[in-house]
Structure 1
């Protein structure tokens, strides 16, 4: 954070954006600031992640001793306002509204400072993400890369992620990686006995107790067996499996195409699949009459919805793609929000 000074960071614009009440003019100014430097973009993404993912911690901070002064001030203002109302002295016009606005401004500022504080503290420690059996989560990294974590999975992002090597650790489960390629900063997924290095791509990894399975969707990757040093380069459409059971150290089993793998788009497992194809599989699987607005036909979905009820599956789909479900009797229609 030595690269920034308080007077160069548009805190008021960031605050409005995080709360979702930024107007067009303010948003244009904020986007200009974000686009003016990599550090600006990374700071905004990290603050947004803190805001989105650390609300529980924020509530704890709001209840902490450090906020006693704030609550005391709030209490005094409320007492003063009550005294004015009960007295015969008529408050100055607009006083109550101005105080309400003051509460709002101070609350927003306090919340943003607390979120920034959470982020600063976490900057020196690992960030861990874990999903439940029926949960999925999307993680946006400081460089703009996106990791989609599937159910029953665990991911760690080390504190020095954006250093010379952008390293993340998939501890268990399944994840889809959309990597922003940087020639000088390779992206590496550590898997214990193996690792995957980005060469400009998007790919998917499934890690179980006895195997690691990799599918390359776009570009290419290097798949390394750390036990014996074997390295294989896989291009789009290729897949590889490494058996990791007791006493097993490889070799890497490479095959092609993706359609033959456990990641096939049969049933309800999708990799960068066009929405019409997803909906066709929904029709087959759930026996529902579903149509879509042509305006959203080019949207793509990545996710594992196996074992989900129709209501849960369609909810995940809508939330992931920012679309709306309209139901009339037994007919379902998907459209823009």
Structure 2
């Protein structure tokens, strides 16, 4: 089970109530930024905050009966009205915090064991409890229960991952990110979630893409469609990039591809900053590349591109520049 320090839970509670001081907000932000698992935990607690009311209703708690017991104990007080008001105000302040803590405890009870997988050094394959297959790209993090409950199958993702979901109409498969919920209505797709946007590419089946900030904003994404969700909303395009899964397959294909697009693909695959210089892009005919690379080191790829496109490359600070010889 993922453990959360008590003082962090209290800071998150204050944050969600809008009562966090500037100094405490900085402390909480530092804790969230320490690693991706902390950010995933914060999101789970945020969800508990939103759902704790409905969760606690299931415990059979009788608020009126509880207040009656308090009133009975105050009945012999000389200043019953004043004391009752003060006591209720104090108790209400405590109850808000108790609801959150109780909601978190109940949430943990319902989800007694969570797995947290981090792809720190390389891509990592993950088999979920229902047999669904996930490939995490290096840098991605996935949180999921050791056993899915009887209603839904739900995971939380940061970074990029490929999903092949087992079909089970009776148990919806949900993927949570910072800004979206994705309900799987099909089988295979890739998701990339980062600070700026969520990206979804569907290969087979379909996925319901829902915004968390605008609950009315929803899109069903079909095979060979590419959808992004930013602060401006959804944008859906036809998927025509043959290299969108190159990080998983290790294969990069170029077919008469302009050198600026080649640079973009290589930058994404090798996690480097690669681009053509301005003079190269001003040529009457932009150099193109037709080639296939299979898990080759970047130096080998650059050498082959140099021969194929009759261009050179040089390192300039942290950037690899293509330029005309």
Q: When the two structures are superposed, what TM-score results if normalisation uses the length of structure 1?
A: 0.41
- Which structure has the larger Rg? 2
Q: When the two structures are superposed, what TM-score results if normalisation uses the length of structure 2?
A: 0.42
